[in-house]
Amino acid sequence: MPLTSAAAIPWGDVLGQRDAVETLQRAAADPAQLAHGWLVTGPPGSGRSTLALAFAAALIAGGPGDEATMRQVLAGTHPDLTRLRTEGVIITIKQARDIVERSYYAPSVGRHRVIVVEDADRMTERTSNVLLKALEEPPEHTVWVLCAPSEADLLPTIRSRVRSLRLRELEVDDVAHLITVRTGVDRAIAEQSARHAQRHIGMAQRLATDEPSRVRRDQTLRDVLRVRAIGDVVQIAGRIVQAATDDAKALNAERDEAERQALLRTVGVPDGAKVPPAVRSQLNALKDEQERRAKRGVRDGLDRVLTDMQSLFRDIALAQLGREEGMINLELVDDIRQVAQAWRPRRALTILDHIAETRAALERNVQPALALESLLVTIVSGRKP
């Protein structure tokens, strides 16, 4: 699909999902094909959120020529669009109740009211139950669009009330082309970033445009490959956790300060002036929200490290099978071959299993350093502690 202006054609930034786009285009144009609840699933970086917003623009706007409305929807500022993106670990019951309440409002200026729930897999069972009635009996002009990695991430009662649309995995060349068009980076860097991000568009764009991120990823994998003894474990685990923490802080610091200044301007506090006591509670509430976001940022950063480690040991397993085509970490191929020759195949598979268990442990709020130390002990010994 050609990369055209999203303002002119809201589907222009949806990459490599022609079948899904055509399904939603028909639904937006024909009321007989429009379900009032949709579930868009696909692997991370496949464009779930981008597709949901394009669909919302097509539903709310009056037609292809209504570019002002499309721009508003794509920017997330249109009054008939409600977009829930959690900055915390989970979507709270209060957030769910708020969007359910908004779903019963009639459209103010558009053709439909659209509720987009990103990260719908972050709803607990109690939170999901808040949405059930609204999904089962929505107002005539309200359309729900939920986004999640897979159908299995949502309750069966939710899945039974929506129409599912599965997105396909993108090719590395598709993502690299998009990153080159968007950012102007060198094609080789775009290809490497798309490969290292395992075709996740957002992460590929960040790697391509942020050299320190590329350096941190490379150094982390080299450290993991060269861990030799139990004595190395604590040091390397500490470095990984610190890198994820620093990364999250760097991503959030500028945004946090901008939000603080925006709040102060909204309540009429001049730059540099003393904050009145009446405003401090609002600043404290903002700080609490930012801390929750930072906590999720660290967790997401550690999850990316585990994803990178998974790709590394997958490459080792491929090398042991004599199948190097499709390797992700080509820059480390000599080290990968050396490890593949030295290890028995079962060892790489054991580590891959433990990476999945470490990811699950972090979801249960196990202390990150301890979880990573346990994983690194397995890498050193080939056996789970």
Residues 86-118: pLDDT tens digits?
766 688 899 999 999 999 998 988 889 999 999
| Confidence label for 9 from pLDDT (cuts 50, 70 and 90) | very low
Mean pLDDT of 246-253: 73
Give every CB contact of residue 227 below 8 A, 6+ residues apart in sequence. 233, 236, 376, 379, 380
Q: How confident is the model at residue 17 (pLDDT cuts 50, 70, 90)?
A: confident
HEC assignment per residue over 140-206:
CCEEEEEEECCHHHCCHHHHCCCEEEECCCCCHHHHHHHHHHHHCCCHHHHHHHHHHCCCCHHHHHH
Please determine, for residue 183, whether its predicted confidence score (pLDDT) is greater than 80.
yes
| Cα-Cα-Cα-Cα dihedral sign, residues 354, 91, 301, 284 | negative
Helices and strands, number each (H, E), in the chain: 15, 5
Q: Are 115 and 76 in contact (CB under 8 A)?
A: no
The proportion of the chain whose per-residue pLDDT surpasses 90, expressed as a percent, equals 41
Q: What pLDDT does residue 88 have?
A: 63
Distance CA 37, CA 162 (A): 4
Query: Is the pLDDT reported for residue 265 higher than 90?
Result: no
Q: Are 94 and 126 in contact (CB under 8 A)?
A: no
Q: What tens digit of pLDDT does each residue of 128-168 get?
A: 999 988 898 888 899 999 999 899 888 999 999 999 999 88
- Topology of the domain covering 18-166: Rossmann fold (3.40.50)
Q: What is the pLDDT of residue 71?
A: 81
Report the SS3 class of residue 39: strand
**Both tokens assigned to 371:** 């979880």
Q: What's the predicted TM-score (pTM) here?
A: 0.69
Domain ranges within the chain, ordered by starting residue = 18-166, 172-209, 230-381
The whole-chain average pLDDT of the chain stands at 86
SS3 290: helix
Buried-exposed string 165-187: b where 16+ CB fall within 10 A, e elsewhere = bebeebebebbbbbbbeeeebee
pLDDT at 1: 36
Mean pLDDT for the stretch of residues 263-277: 79
Query: For residue 76, what pLDDT is reported?
Result: 80
Residue type, 205: Q
As given in the structure block, the two tokens for residue 381 are 């010994």
- Would the pLDDT of 2 be above 50? no
Amino acid (one-letter) located at 143: V
Per residue in 53-82, pLDDT (tens digit) is 999 999 998 766 677 888 888 778 889 999
Per-residue pLDDT, 64: 62
Average pLDDT for 350-373:
91
In the predicted structure, residue 227 carries a pLDDT above the cut 90:
no
Q: How far apart are CA 361 and CA 358, in angstroms?
A: 5
Decide: helix, strand or coil at residue 322.
coil
Q: Give 222's Cβ-side CA count (13 Å radius).
A: 9
Residue 5 has pLDDT above 50, yes or no: no
Mean pLDDT, residues 111-128 taken together: 91
The length of the chain in residues reads 385
For 32, residues 6+ apart whose C-beta sits below 8 A from its C-beta are none
Average pLDDT (219-246) is 88
Average pLDDT over residues 277-305: 80
- Rounded CA-CA distance 204/190 in Å is 7
Alpha carbons within 13 angstroms on the beta-carbon side of residue 200 total 14
pLDDT at 344 over 50: yes
How far CA 307 is from CA of 220, 229, 251, in Å, comes to 12, 23, 19
